[in-house]
Structure 1
Amino acid sequence: MKKPILTLMLGTLMTTATAAQAQVSESCQDVRFAEVGWTDIQATTGMARVLLDKMGYDTDSKTVSVPIAYAGLKQNDFDVFLGNWMPSMASIVKPYVESGAVETVTTNLKGAKYTLAVPSYVAKAGVTSFADLIKHKSQFHGRIYGLESGNDGNKIVENMIHDNAFGLRRFRLVASSEAGMLSEVKHAVQNKEWVIFLAWAPHPMNTKLDITYLKGGDKYFGPDYGAAVVRTQARKGYVQACPNVGHFLNNLTFTVDMENHLMDAIMNDHKSAKDAAKAYIAKHPEVLKGWLDGVKNTDGSPALSRWQ
């Protein structure tokens, strides 16, 4: 007995739907990000999550310290980390990369920098290099303000203190969060006090505060005022197991100006990272073409189609 045409059509549609739903394996449906307490990584992770959510993935991010982020990638607690600042993180990431536990996907930002800085009124008073710091120890109260414990920049400063580089053994590192450190810097600037702190670009501090990056720290922070790149990394085998997400991550690159805008929205407009990302996309939809080129939604359709 022949089946009615309607039954055959429904069967075909159900088969097609089932096939579409099977485009992404269950193990790739959830994308887990490691995030550290820095606004730039909040911004880039927020952007990645907005785009992946739109494709049909389920994303999650947890804020942890840098050492825990890498331990989590190794132990399969996380899939992706967008915040590998190089060369400052070289000593932390080296054993994970050399063992194959963590793999580099791409460089997601060029033109960054990371080193010590002072307010520009301090630079005008004669502190323009690392060698000048010891001459003014009392004015700095012997303190260098850093980030959270375990941070790569902190480790660099601690190494300098240990090595007595530039006479810094007489200084001590004050560890804090990004927000805590910047609060100390802003308070010092308001009172025209002297302060040394970890500074980097991209970051709104470069436009909101008049600061000067110190020269002469090439041995520890790298040349050209700590010139840096930021890399996207994933746990071992993740890109091969989840090639669509891997292709997307390879496409996902940023500029310093873009991140400055995203970070400013988070820090000064008090937007969530996701809301900042959505607002940026609404103003700059042209960025989607490069990011989503060759990328699929979880149902197999082109990722760009859901933004048109």
Structure 2
Amino acid sequence: MPLDAKTLSASLLCAAALLQPVCAQDPDNCRKVRFANIGWTDITATTALASTVLEGLGYQPITTVASVPISFTGLKNRQIDVSLGYWWPGQERMITPFVEAKTIQVLEPPNLPNARASLAVPSYAYDAGLKTFSDIARYHTELDGKIYGIDSGTSANASIKAMIDKNQFGMGSFKLVESSEAGMLVSVERAVRDRKWVLFLGWEPHPMNIQIDMRYLTGSQGAFINDGVARVYTLTAPDFLTRCPNAGRLVGNLRFTAQIENTVMQDLLSRDRPKPADAAKAYLKKNPQVLDDWLVGVKTYDGREGLPAVKAHLGL
């Protein structure tokens, strides 16, 4: 891709190392790294972690909350630089036209390889026999004929509705209870507190996996694509990695685990409700070892070594 005059000028200056010992790795238009946050707590957590590191490197990250379709369009139109929230395979059909047109870049490998979303039950119900989708109908009475989902219009709720409409696994007489994430969790936690059986949509990463002793059902036979096992990928605007190679290197290095995200999300959803930036900074101060891999080959915006600069930013 051709360099504009400003970028070319900066590159030439950086090449004159004897005259300028420290120089920017990215052009001026890369200093503001624009993230899309699709509004889910896990993506809020990872975006906050990435933004905290970028701030320590001297960048100015900006986060815009946008739905999945709007975030895809923003990446295509170069109004957004990065999204850390492409859930595969649930969003695959939606993103395919963008990928085929090469207007969105999907980075490999995934930033989270071991995500999942499927129906779940408390461990005491699982241990008593409700272990697979084929078991659900047998426990209609214990479950009060209800399945607790999340917001109306989500792909997960659509999968549950499809099972009910088709009477798959004998679930035709069940009712889907749609609610917000918070509302669903209140219902589940109340049932667990009273040792009642409850069938609900679970997913990881999410602090529910720490707060509730729960198990995921298996054997969805395609009702949940890939039996609910998922991966989360980083997306960038089509020119971001070439236009902003240093910031792009950090973005490409980001790898999370379910435990990292569960922990930060638990803080975000706690009674104190800290700001995402504060929760991210607190986690990184307690777990600075994650920075070692994230910052391999990454410099500050003005060309210094990235790892010590970020540690200094965190007060380490």
TM-score, normalization by structure 2: 0.81
Match of 2:183 among 180, 193, 197: 180
The 1:283/1:151 distance shift into structure 2, 3 A limit, reads same
Q: Give the AA of the match of 1:33.
A: F
Give the 5 Å matches for 1:189-204. 189-204=192-207
Please say if 1:134 is aligned against 2:106: no
Q: Give the AA of the match of 1:212.
A: R
Match of 1:104 among 106, 112, 117: 106
Please say if 1:297 is aligned against 2:283: no
Tell me by how many angstroms 1:105 deviates. Answer: 1.6
Tell me by how many angstroms 1:40 deviates. Answer: 1.8
Match of 2:83 among 64, 81, 84: 81
CA deviation string 1:19-63 (max 9, x = no partner) = 84x643233222221213332211111100001112122212233
Counterparts of 1:58 and 1:30, CA distance in 2: 5
Please say if 1:58 is aligned against 2:60: yes
Tell me by how many angstroms 1:264 deviates. Answer: 2.3
| Contact 1:87 1:221 survives alignment (8 Å) | no
From the two aligned structures, give the one with the greater helix fraction. Answer: 1
Tell me by how many angstroms 1:285 deviates. Answer: 1.9
1:171 maps to: 174
| Contact 2:54 2:60 survives alignment (8 Å) | yes
| Contact 1:252 1:291 survives alignment (8 Å) | yes
Identity of aligned residues (%): 42
Tell me by how many angstroms 1:104 deviates. Answer: 0.7
| Contact 2:151 2:179 survives alignment (8 Å) | yes
Q: Give the AA of the match of 1:299.
A: D
Counterparts of 2:85 and 2:159, CA distance in 1: 17
Q: Give the AA of the match of 1:271.
A: P
Match of 2:283 among 276, 280, 284: 280
1:116 maps to: 119
Counterparts of 1:236 and 1:212, CA distance in 2: 39
| Contact 2:36 2:65 survives alignment (8 Å) | yes
Tell me by how many angstroms 1:199 deviates. Answer: 0.9
The 1:271/1:240 distance shift into structure 2, 3 A limit, reads same
The 1:174/1:98 distance shift into structure 2, 3 A limit, reads farther
Q: Give the AA of the match of 2:191.
A: A
The 1:272/1:175 distance shift into structure 2, 3 A limit, reads same
| Contact 1:156 1:220 survives alignment (8 Å) | yes
Match of 2:211 among 208, 212, 222: 208
Q: For 2:223, what is the secondary structure of its paired residue? A: helix
Match of 1:151 among 141, 154, 173: 154
The 1:210/1:193 distance shift into structure 2, 3 A limit, reads same
Q: For 1:157, what is the secondary structure of its paired residue? A: helix
* Count of residue pairs brought into register by the alignment: 292
Counterparts of 1:159 and 1:94, CA distance in 2: 23
Structure 1 gaps of 5+ residues are: 1-14
1:251 maps to: 253
